């Protein structure tokens, strides 16, 4: 018998393994069928690893009973773990759509928790004892912060635009500038949302220029609204002309047609003093006299996924009666998170400090330097000569289709290693138990500290240590990477 045959014949059976104390314990804690499946899968991978190894590698394959038990247990945990997990965002993209967009403040945890786990007055008026409206809980604070007359909230901003158009313009025409026919990542396209809502898009102007007379000329007896869309994720530069909100509102008044604005990102503070570009605030759209305004809860506002609709009471009232509202309505967890986030906005200084999106966008260069040095020190202590590390100047992005041209100077860790290829390293970090998503620039791994929380530094250091310094075969077997 050669070594390979010997190794193969020493593989225990499923029955042998399930009788072992530690694995038996697992089968009491978790569904037995899951444990048995995991044992089978593990033994299959173990067999493949032996078959694909040469004699030298065979020596290194961890084969003690303890190793086998550890491998099976890791598999069971993996099978029973949540599939939706926390991820460390080392990309520097603050509103990373694939990573959950806005991160909520730690300070609102309690209010979310208690609403989630107990009954609440979601649709109940405590004073009168009669049925209430779920929107009433946030309407006052939204109106207070924005200056609007009335407000309601739906599932996201795409739903908000849909509801507004369906309520105000079903079967009628809505006039929009060609330069504002936005497509947002995913599949939100103004022309498509419009046709889904039953409104008819009346495109006007040219891609680069639209004048007030273009709007005026397009209006007829079928016109239900004039609409302005914030070109969140792109800019038209050069020879351009957009009609100012005030002019559009004046035209709407003159012709007795409501004017709608889709603001995209909802900014409640002017962030120019922190070096960010000008972005129209929600308040300025209200002041300009827009009849209805929509914006996202989880872009620059930094709250939960939601679509906020504000404006004149007659329109908001009509929307709350639209049957679509029921299909687009937000749930109590979102409401709790939104109310708590909006409350932080009552104090500008507190909001900037406590709302993670605002904090990450406004963090000072000094703080970024300190953060990067801190991570650098942790990494260089742990990783020694396994890689070469440097702290470098880089750029982060706002993301979420907001401020597309703006590159924010930041500090990042740059890592080069000869232990494995940079693609494999990036992949291994993504596969870590707390996945770490970093960027690659040529042959370097880039970790932008802007979007990494300080309490995640140790996890990054441990992950890199395990990947660059660990027993690779054991690691592979445990992470189920052998197929
Ligand atoms: C992002 C965006 C939307 C979609 O908002 P969601 O909250 O993602 O549904 C709609 N319109 C504009 C202009 C946007 O920027």
Where do the structural domains in the chain lie, given as residue ranges?
Answer: 3-80, 88-97+360-479, 106-348
Decide whether 88-97+360-479 matches 106-348 in CATH topology: no
* Closest Cα to atom 13 of ligand 1: 264
Q: Look up residue 83 and give its DSSP letter.
A: S
How far is ligand 1, taken at its centre, from the CA of residue 297, in Å? 10
CATH tag, 88-97+360-479: 3.90.1150.180
Mutate which of 100, 101, 158 to test ligand 1's pocket (most atoms within 8 Å of Cβ)?
158
Give the DSSP H/E element, type plus range, for residue 184: strand 183-184
User: Whole-model pTM?
Assistant: 0.88
Report how far residue 342's alpha carbon sits from residue 282's, in angstroms, rounded to the nearest whole number: 13
pLDDT < 50 positions in the chain: 482-483
Ligand 1 neighbour 188 (Cβ under 6 A): yes
Query: Could you confirm whether domain 106-348 is CATH 3.40.640.10?
Result: yes
How many helices (H) and strands (E) are present in the chain, helices listed first? 22, 16
Give the integer Cα–Cα distance in Å for 193 and 195.
Answer: 6
User: Are 151 and 308 spatial neighbours (Cβ–Cβ below 8 Å)?
Assistant: yes
| Shortest-distance Cα residue to atom 6 of ligand 1 | 157
């Amino acid at each position: 018998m050669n070594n390979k045959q010997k190794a193969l014949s020493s593989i225990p059976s499923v029955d042998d393994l399930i009788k072992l104390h530690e694995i038996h314990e697992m089968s009491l804690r978790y569904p037995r069928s899951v444990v048995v499946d995991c044992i089978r899968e593990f033994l299959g991978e173990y067999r493949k690893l032996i078959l694909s190894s040469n004699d030298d590698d065979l020596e290194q394959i961890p084969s003690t009973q303890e190793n086998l038990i550890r491998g099976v247990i890791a598999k069971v945990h993996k099978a029973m773990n949540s599939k939706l997990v926390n991820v460390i965002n080392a990309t520097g993209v603050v509103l990373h759509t694939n990573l959950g967009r806005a991160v909520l403040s730690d300070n609102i945890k309690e209010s979310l928790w208690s609403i989630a786990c107990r009954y609440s007055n979601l649709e109940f008026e405590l004073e009168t004892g009669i049925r209430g409206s779920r929107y009433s809980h946030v309407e006052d604070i939204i109106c207070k912060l924005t200056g609007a007359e009335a407000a309601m909230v739906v599932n996201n901003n795409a739903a908000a635009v849909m509801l507004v158009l369906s309520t105000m313009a079903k079967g009628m025409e809505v006039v929009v500038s060609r330069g504002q026919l936005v497509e947002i990542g995913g599949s939100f396209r103004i022309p498509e949302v419009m046709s889904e809502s039953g409104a008819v898009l009346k495109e006007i102007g040219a891609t680069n220029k639209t004048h007030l007379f273009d709007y005026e000329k397009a209006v007829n007896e079928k016109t239900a609204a004039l609409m302005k869309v914030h070109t969140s994720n792109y800019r038209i530069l050069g020879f351009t002309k957009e009609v100012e909100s005030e002019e559009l509102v004046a035209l709407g008044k003159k012709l007795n047609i409501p004017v709608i604005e889709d603001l995209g990102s909802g900014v409640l503070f002017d962030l120019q003093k922190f070096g960010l570009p000008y972005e129209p605030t929600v308040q300025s759209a209200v002041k300009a006299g827009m009849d209805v305004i929509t914006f996202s809860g989880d872009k620059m506002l930094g709250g939960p996924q939601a679509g906020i609709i504000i404006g004149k009471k007659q329109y908001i009232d009509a929307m709350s009666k639209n049957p679509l509202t029921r299909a687009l309505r937000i749930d109590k967890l979102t409401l709790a998170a939104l109310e708590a986030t909006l409350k932080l906005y009552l104090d500008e200084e507190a909001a900037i400090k406590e709302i993670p999106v605002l904090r990450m966008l406004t963090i000072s260069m000094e703080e970024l330097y300190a953060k990067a040095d801190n991570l650098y020190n942790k990494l260089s202590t742990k990783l020694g000569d396994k890689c070469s590390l440097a702290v470098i100047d880089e750029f982060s992005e706002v993301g979420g289709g907001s401020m597309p041209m703006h590159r924010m100077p930041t500090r990042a860790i740059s890592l080069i290693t000869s232990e494995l290829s940079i693609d494999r390293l990036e992949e291994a970090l993504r596969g870590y138990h707390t996945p770490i998503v970093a960027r690659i620039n040529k042959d370097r791994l880039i970790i932008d500290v802007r979007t990494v929380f300080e309490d995640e530094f140790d996890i990054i250091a441990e992950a890199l240590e395990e990947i660059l310094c660990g027993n690779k075969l054991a690691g592979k077997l445990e992470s189920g990477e052998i197929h």
